[in-house]
Structure 1
Amino acid sequence: MKIAYEFSMLCTYIFEALIVNLLFAVVFIKKYGNIKHYTILFSSYGTITIIHTFNSTLLNLSAFIIFTFFISLILYEGKFSKKVYYTMFLILIMTVTEVIALFILKILFKNLTLSMQEIIILAIISKTMMFLLVKSFCNNLNKNTNKIPEDKFLALLLISATIVTVLYMFISITSNIKIDTNKSIAALISAIGLMFSSMLIFYIFEQSIKEQTNLKEFALLKQKSELDMKHYKILKENYDNVKIIEHDIKKHIRLIDEFAKIGNNLEIIKYIENFNEDMQYFSLKPISKNKALDIVLNEKMQIAQNKDIKFTFHIQNVNLEFINDIDICTIFSNILDNALESCEKSENKEIILEIYMVNGKFITIELANSCYIDPVIQDGELITSKFNLSDHGFGMKSIVKTVKKYKGQVFYFYNNEELKFITNISIPV
C-alpha cells in the first residue's frame, strides 16, 4: 500500500504541474523548447513530492508557493508583478479546493482518519476541482501586457493572503478532529463560498485590467489614425506643390536666361541643382492608378533609398477606388514602416511588394521583407520585440482594424529559410 500511495502522490503532483503549466502558458510566453521546459517543470514538482513525505501541511504549502513562483521566473517571460499575481491565484485555488475536498470526505466518511486511501481520494477530488477551476478561468483570460495597478495589486495580495491563512487554519484545526455532519456541511458551504468569492475577486480584477487595456488601445489606435491622416494630408499638400512649381516654370527659365546673359555660370549651375532637388522631392512618380497609394509609395521609396534598402514592387492593374484614401495610407504606411524598420536590423536589406487580383474576387497585398530576428507569433498575434510592450505593436493592430472595415483578413508568417517576414492582406472586391 505504501508504494501505491507514493506512486499516487507522484501522479498527483505531476497533474498539479500540468495545471500550473496550463495557466502560465496562457498568460506568459515560454522561454525554452518543450524538452528543457518540461524537464525543469517536472523536476521541480518531483522535489515537492519528496517534501510531501514529511507530512507537514505548512511545509507542503510553502514548497508549492516557492516552486510555483520559481517556475514562473525560470520558464516564462513576463512582468514580475504579474508572476506574483498568478502564483498567488494558484495558491488560493489549491488551498480552497483542498479544504472543500476535506469537508466532502468528512461528510462521506463519518470516522475520517486521513488514512493513505483517504488522502489519495482527497488528492483526486481537490486536483480535479483545481483543474476545472483553472481551465474555466483560462477560457476567459485575455493576454494583456498592461501594468497591474499597484494599489489594486496590494489590495488583492492582502485579501488573498488573508483567505489562504483562514483556509490553512481550517485544515490545521479540522483535519484530525471529529465534527458532526451538520458542522461539516456548514464548513463545506463556507469553503465553497470562499472559493467563488476568490474566483470572483480575481475575475473582476482581471476584467478591470482588460478594460483598461482596451480603453488604452482604443485611444492609441485613434491617435495613430489621426496621425496617419495628418501625415497623408501633409504628403498630399507637398505633392500638390509641384503644380505651383510647374506653373512658375517660365519664371525659372527667365531667371536662368538672365544669369546666362551676364555669364554667371556658377549661379546657373547652383540654381539648377537646387531646382532639381526640389523637383525630386515634390515630383510624384506614377506607380499605380491610385494617387493615395502613389503618394505613400513615393515617400517610402525615398526613405528606402536613403537607407540603402532595395525596394521593388509588382502592381497589377487593380482598382482600389472602393478603399478610402486615408485607409490606403494607414494600411500601406504601417506595413512599409514595419518592413523598413526590420530591414534596418538585417544584413540583406530588401522589400518586395506585390498587389494583384485573385479570381476576380479578392485583392491581395503581399509584402516580403528581410528579417534577421525571429519574431514571436503567439495565438495568431504578433508580439512586438520592443521593450515597452504596452505602447507598441499598434501599427499592426491599426492595419488589422482598417482591413476588417472592408471584411478583409491579415495573415503573417516568418520564412526561416529565406529570413523573411511575410505579410499577406486579402480584401474582397
Structure 2
Amino acid sequence: MVYTICYALIFLAEILISLFYFENKFERKASKKFLIISLPTAYTILYFARLFNITVVNMLAFFVCNFFLLRLCYKAKIKSAIFHCSILLVFNVTTEFVVMLFSAAILGTELLACLDNSVNLIFQSTISKLLYFSSMYILSKVSSNERRKESPATSLMLFLLPISSTLIIYAILYSLAEYELGQVFLTLLLIGIVVLLFSNIAVFWVYEFTLKTQSRNMELEYEKQKLKSAAEYYDLLNEQNENSKIVMHDIKRHLNAIKSIAKDKAVTEYIDDFIEDFSINKSVDYCNNPMANSIVNRYKSFCDKFGVKMNIDIRSADFSFMSEPDITALLDNLLENAVEAAQNTENGFIDFSAFVRKNKYLSIQLTNSVKNIVAVKNNRIASSKKSDAIHGTGLKSIKRVVKKYDGEINMKFNEDDMTFTSNIVFEIRR
C-alpha cells in the first residue's frame, strides 16, 4: 500500500513539473477552475497508463497528457505544443536513464536491477524527478523571453536544495544496500524522500511566485509614479496656460490702447500683425475638460514637430465622470503610443475623436498609422519587438481605467492600410 502511494505521488510530481514549466513559458488562457479540473484528469490517465508497465505506452501517455494540458489551458500553437511536449518527454526519459546508469555504477548492480526492487525503484525515481525538475527549471529560465532582475547568487544557492536532497537520497540508498532496515523505518524513509521531492518543487514554486509578484508590484509602482508625474505636469501646464491667457488678454488691451493713440499707420499695422501672430499661448480648447485639453495640446505639438498629421474632434466629449488621474492615464497612454507608432511611418497620421452618444455613452476612437504588422487577438497584442502599436505597460494602464469605469475596449489592426484602431466606450455616470 505504501509503495503504491509513493508511486502515485511520484507520477503526480511529473504533472506538477509540466505545469511549472508551462507556467513559466506560456500565458494561461483557461480559468483556474478549469486548470484544477484538467490536472487530476491528466494525472489519472498518466497513472493508469503506468500500470501497464509498457515503456511505449508510458511515453505516449506522458506526451498526450502534456499536449492536451498545454493546448487546453495555455496559449500555445500546435507546433509549439508538440515541440515543448517533446522536450519534456526527452528530458524525462533521459534523466531516468542517467539516474539508473549512475545508480548501477555506484551500487555495483545491473542497469535494470532497480526494476525488480520496489524500494530501489522509488528511491531512484525520486532522484530522477529531482534531476528532471532541475533540468526543466534551468531550461525554462534560459529560453524565457521574460527578463527579470534576479540575483545569480540566489539562483545558484537555490540549487543547493536539490543537490543536497540527491546526495542524501543516494546516501540512504547506499546504506540500504549494506544494512537491512525494519519495515517501519523503511516506510518512514520512503515517505520522507517523496515529501522531500515535493518540498523541492514547492520551494522553487514559491521562489518563482515571489519573483512574479515583485515584478508586478514594480510595474504598478512604475505606473503610479508615471501617473503622478503626468498629473503634476498637466496641472502645471494648465496653470501656465491660464496665466498665459491672462497675460495675453492684458497685453492685447495694452496694445490696443497704444494703437488707439498711435498716429503712424505703420505702427497700427505692426500691432495688428503682432496680435495676430502672437504665440505666447498656442493651446486650443478642444473640449470643455481642461485636463483633456492639456493632454491633447501636448501631443498635437509633438505631431507638428514630427510631421504627423493629427485630426482631432472631441468637441462633444464628456469626461466629467472620470477623475483627472484616470483621464491622464487613459488619454496620455493612448496618444503616447499612437504618436510613437505614427512618427515611424511615411505620411504618418492620427485620427482622434470622442463624442457622446444617446446622451449616455462616451465613445473614444483613436486610429493611427503603423509601420509593422500588429497581431491582435481577443483584445490582446502578441508580444513582439516589432509591434509598435501600443506598449504593454500603457495597455495595462488603459485597461485598468476601462475596467474601473465598466467600459469596453476593442482593438483591431487593418493590414490593408496599415492602421491600428482603439475603440473605447464608457457609460457616463451622472
Q: Which residue of 2 aligns with 1:38?
A: 82
Q: Which residue of 1 aligns with 2:45?
A: none
Q: Which residue of 1 aligns with 2:316?
A: 317
AA partner of residue 252 (structure 1): L
AA partner of residue 195 (structure 2): G
AA partner of residue 408 (structure 1): G
Q: Which residue of 2 aligns with 1:399?
A: 398
Aligned counterpart in structure 2 of residue 209 of structure 1, from 198, 208, 211: 211
Structure 1 residue 166 and structure 2 residue 175: aligned?
no
TM-score, normalised relative to structure 1? 0.63
Structure 1 residue 248 and structure 2 residue 251: aligned?
yes
Q: Which residue of 2 aligns with 1:340?
A: 339
Task: Give CA deviations for 1:251-295 in whole Å, capped at 9, x if unaligned.
Answer: 335667999949689xxx99888766653x613333323333223
Give the 3-state SS of the residue equivalent to 1:285 in structure 2: coil
Alpha-carbon distance in 1 for matches of 2:277, 2:169: 77
Structure 1 residue 154 and structure 2 residue 156: aligned?
yes
Cα deviation for residue 366 of structure 1 reads 2.3
8 Å contact kept, 2:303–2:310 = yes
Give the 3-state SS of the residue equivalent to 1:364 in structure 2: strand
Aligned counterpart in structure 2 of residue 8 of structure 1, from 57, 77, 80: 57
Cα deviation for residue 367 of structure 1 reads 1.7
Q: Unpaired segments of 5 or more residues in structure 2? A: 1-51, 104-126
CA 1:206/1:302 → structure 2, altered by over 3 Å: closer, same or farther? same
Q: Which residue of 2 aligns with 1:218?
A: 220
Task: Give CA deviations for 1:178-222 in whole Å, capped at 9, x if unaligned.
Answer: 866424421232024314432442343234324423442333222
Alpha-carbon distance in 2 for matches of 1:58, 1:414: 56
8 Å contact kept, 1:357–1:364 = yes
Q: Which residue of 1 aligns with 2:362?
A: 363
Alpha-carbon distance in 2 for matches of 1:282, 1:151: 56
Q: Which residue of 1 aligns with 2:15?
A: none
8 Å contact kept, 2:238–2:290 = no
AA partner of residue 35 (structure 1): K
Alpha-carbon distance in 2 for matches of 1:176, 1:415: 73
Aligned counterpart in structure 2 of residue 227 of structure 1, from 201, 226, 229: 229
Cα deviation for residue 345 of structure 1 reads 2.6
Q: Which residue of 1 aligns with 2:289?
A: 290
CA 1:201/1:66 → structure 2, altered by over 3 Å: closer, same or farther? closer
Cα deviation for residue 232 of structure 1 reads 0.9
Alpha-carbon distance in 1 for matches of 2:171, 2:272: 89
AA partner of residue 145 (structure 2): G
Alpha-carbon distance in 1 for matches of 2:396, 2:215: 13
Structure 1 residue 78 and structure 2 residue 145: aligned?
yes
Task: Give CA deviations for 1:29-59 in whole Å, capped at 9, x if unaligned.
Answer: xxx9642662475278458758967883549
CA 1:282/1:69 → structure 2, altered by over 3 Å: closer, same or farther? same
In percent, how many aligned pairs have the same letter?
17
CA 1:399/1:4 → structure 2, altered by over 3 Å: closer, same or farther? closer
Cα deviation for residue 336 of structure 1 reads 0.2
TM-score, normalised relative to structure 2? 0.63
Higher relative contact order (CA 8 A, sep 6+): 1
**Mapping 1:130-141, distance limit 5 Å:** none
Cα deviation for residue 230 of structure 1 reads 1.5
AA partner of residue 227 (structure 2): S
Alpha-carbon distance in 2 for matches of 1:309, 1:56: 66
8 Å contact kept, 1:315–1:355 = yes
8 Å contact kept, 2:91–2:132 = no
Alpha-carbon distance in 2 for matches of 1:42, 1:176: 39
